Amino acid sequence: MARPPEIGSTGRRARGRPRAWADTTNQNRIKSLDRAMDVLERLSEMGSATLSDLAGELGQSPASVYRVLFTLEARDIVDFEATSQTWHIGAGAFLIGSRFLRRTSLVERVRPALRSLMERTGETASLGIERNGLLLFVSQVETHAHMRAFFPPGTTSPMHASGIGKALLAEMDEGRLAAIVSRHGLVRFTANTLTTRDALMADLAATRERGYAVDAEERDDGMRCIAAPIFDMHGEAIAGLSISGPSARMPDSAISGLGSSVIEAAQSVTAGMGGRRHE
């Protein structure tokens, strides 16, 4: 459906868009830019890749993918490592991503809470938000322990196999939840991954009841995560806080106490932002 014209208080069209901005048909999309974004997104998901592997993943010719990579490299969006003959996301991409984070004060507000939570529990503390039906990690304070979880900002994860992801899913209405499950599925990562809708819904009900979600080795064997949602002034869950670490340091007997610490940290951030949990 085409969007209605955007009219300002003076009756004139708002600046920032051309006269035909409401036309959302494919004729307004730049196909070469679309292909370049496909290359960049797939490379970010793979972490690193050779030209042939990346081209194979995308179903494009190596020559076409190389032209995209060469162009992005000129702007430091990607890097090439000659020794291994692999391509990686570059510093330029990080700088652009960090500017996205500056659109909101959420990261700055949560940073002290993350540090305090890490010091209190001894485990890596993370902040994540939902982005296009996936969990996007935006900030983290690592534990000093030798064995630890690590989710660099910009990392994405399926929501059904993530502590923060499930904490956010538990607060969504049925329509939005169903759309995310339909789009991304319930992929199995370990023997503990919730791969049926009934199992996921039961887990989300338990999450709402106790106030925190538990990732019990559902994404990675030997790793656990406990997470709680952060709410805005409208009572909507806009982000989640979590702690993650080896299951040996987070046994069943410690989950309740750790969960209380995570809830307390999330509630502190919610209150500091003038937020509230919906009834």
User: Strand pairing of 237-246 and 124-131?
Assistant: antiparallel
- pLDDT for 5: 46
Quick check: helix, strand or coil at residue 111?
A: helix
Mark whether 35 and 137 lie in a shared domain: no
Exposed, middle or buried, 71 (CB in 10 Å: 0-12/13-18/19+)?
Answer: middle
- Indicate the residue among 36, 67, 94 that finishes a domain: 94
199 and 174, same domain (yes or no): yes
Beta bridge partners of 245: 224
Q: Are residues 255 and 119 in the same domain?
A: yes
- Residues 136 and 237 reside in one and the same domain: yes
* Chosen domain end from 34, 64, 94: 94
Do 41 and 108 reside in the same domain of the chain?
A: no
Please indicate, yes or no, whether residues 257 and 179 belong to a single structural domain of this protein: yes
Question: pLDDT tens, position by position, for the chain (279 residues)?
Answer: 444 444 444 455 555 555 554 555 556 678 889 889 999 989 988 888 999 999 999 999 999 999 999 999 999 899 999 999 999 998 888 777 766 655 556 888 899 999 999 999 999 999 999 998 999 999 999 988 877 777 778 888 999 999 999 999 999 999 999 999 999 999 999 999 999 999 999 999 999 999 999 999 999 999 999 999 999 888 999 999 999 999 999 999 999 999 999 999 999 999 988 888 766
pLDDT (tens digit per residue) in 85-96: 999 998 888 777
Number of domains, the chain: 2
58 in a domain, yes or no?
yes
Q: Establish if 203 belongs to a structural domain.
A: yes
Asked whether residue 6 is assigned to any structural domain, the reply reads no
pLDDT of amino acid 44 = 86
User: Do residues 182 and 259 both lie within one domain?
Assistant: yes
If asked whether residues 35 and 146 sit together in one domain, one would say no
State pLDDT tens for residues 102-134.
555 688 889 999 999 999 999 999 999 999 899
Q: Give the per-residue pLDDT at 7.
A: 45
Distance between CA 274 and CA 178 in Å, rounded? 29
Q: What is the pLDDT of residue 16?
A: 54
| CATH code of the domain in which 248 resides | 3.30.450.40
Tell whether 174 and 65 lie within a shared domain: no
CA–CA dist 277, 240 (Å, integer): 13
pLDDT reported for residue 123: 95
Q: Please indicate, yes or no, whether residues 76 and 160 belong to a single structural domain of this protein.
A: no
Q: Where are the alpha helices (DSSP H) in the chain?
A: 31-46, 51-58, 62-74, 91-101, 106-121, 163-169, 174-184, 197-210, 252-272
Domain holding 31, by residue range, is 26-94
Count CA atoms closer than 13 A to 35's CA, side-chain side.
Answer: 16
**pLDDT score at 272:** 86
**Residue 11, in any domain of the structure:** no
Instruction: Compute the distance between CA of residue 124 and CA of residue 143 in angstroms, rounded to an integer.
Output: 5
**Residue 228, domain member (yes or no):** yes
Whether pTM > 0.85 for this model: the answer is no
Say if CB 259 and CB 211 are below 8 A apart: yes
The CATH number covering residue 84 comes to 1.10.10.10
Instruction: Specify if 133 maps to a domain.
Output: yes
Q: Is residue 232 part of a domain?
A: yes
Say yes or no: 159 and 255 in one domain: yes
Is residue 264 in some structural domain? yes
Whether residues 234 and 158 fall in one domain: yes
How many H helices and E strands in the chain? 9, 9
**Confidence (pLDDT) at 275:** 85
d(CA 14, CA 8): 6
